[in-house]
Amino acid sequence: MTPLRQRMLEDMGIRNFAENTQLSYLQQITLYARYFDRSPDELGPEQVRAYQVHLTKTRKLSPSSIGTATAALRFLYKVTLKQNWAPDDIPMPKKPFKLPVILSREEVMQFLDSVANLKHRTILTTAYAAGLRVSEAAHLRVTDIDSKRMVLRVNQGKGRKDRDVMLSPRLLEELRSYWKSARPKTWLFPGGTPGRPITRNAVELACRKAHRAAGIRKPITPHSLRHAFATHLLEAGTDLRKIQLLLGHRSLATTSRYLKVATSTVCATTSPFDLLPKLDPPTLAPSPPAVF
């Protein structure tokens, strides 16, 4: 490990960055250095700009992927290398705003019914029933189930924050049935590696298999179940602030995007077309005579 890589790793550790963030930033800086075949401390703003053009024009990466690389470069030059030029001036690509595709309750049931493996069905059911991110569901421990208080403890979720989420009576029944069959020890959903939880890739693979089996045309990922959880709560009249707390969102603005897809808001107003008098269908023009 080079001294620069070690220092950047220490800088991120001091700031308590999540492990995945640290690995991602190091990977981005490695790719940046390889592109120029030089150490990053020998490069400057012109090379950063050229690299961003390369990511945009040549590799045609999404704004989200370019944003990750940009965040890593900003951290390197501002925090670790403390450059006298302004790393904050490195432009951050604007992400397009996209509404999530929402599964109906019937589609959620159809999807979960298509998951053949008991462990996979239980973890995906938990993701929907408690609104969890896939990484949060994968890292649940047996001791995180508090049936006395009817809550699930999410340890160190996104942003390294703990939170309690609802444990519905029906989900508790599903988890007890799963536990009697699988008998997990530490991790509620153990993975293939002894002593480790199920991986995110394994959950996503199970999701893709169930998606094909269900025959649902809408795109489905494990995160789709979290979107459905929030939207279905909102449609049932749950307060937006409560949904924010359950999801673990830092900002209420993040949660409010579900207002744009919930039928309780989108379909709450009558279309002016429905207020018009019913129109008679137009008369069809006579068919032209046959020419032979």
251 pLDDT above the threshold of 90: no
In this structure, what token pair is assigned to residue 64?
């989200």
In the block, which residue shows the tokens 């107003």? Answer: 269
Residues pairing with 161 in the sheet: 157
Those residues with Cβ within 8 angstroms of residue 179's Cβ, 6 or more apart along the chain or in another chain: 142
Q: How far is 80 from 11, CA to CA, in rounded Å?
A: 7
Asked if residue 58 has pLDDT above 90, the reply is yes
**Confidence bin at 130 (pLDDT 50/70/90):** very high
Residue 111 host element (H or E): helix 105-112
What is the set of domains in the chain, with CATH numbers? 3-89 (1.10.150.130), 105-266 (1.10.443.10)
How buried is residue 229: exposed, middle or buried, by Cβ count under 10 Å (0-12/13-18/19+)?
Answer: buried
Q: Is 70 exposed, middle or buried (0-12, 13-18, 19+ CB in 10 A)?
A: buried
Q: Residue 254 is which amino acid?
A: T
Predicted confidence (pLDDT) at residue 68 exceeds the cutoff of 80 = yes
- Band (88; pLDDT cuts 50, 70, 90): confident
- Cβ atoms of residues 246 and 133 within 8 Å: no
Q: Which residue has the higher pLDDT, 169 or 280?
A: 169
pLDDT tens digits for range 189-200: 999 898 999 999
Segment 212-246, tens digit of pLDDT: 999 999 999 999 999 999 999 999 999 999 999 99
Query: What is the percentage of the chain residues whose pLDDT exceeds 70?
Result: 98
Query: What's the rounded mean pLDDT across residues 54-80?
Result: 95
Which range has the worst mean pLDDT, 22-36, 47-61, 87-101, 259-273? 259-273
Q: Which residue has the tokens 């602030």?
A: 241
**73 SS3 class:** helix
Distance (Å, whole) CA 5 – CA 66: 21
So which residues are the catalytic ones? 133, 158, 223, 226, 249, 258
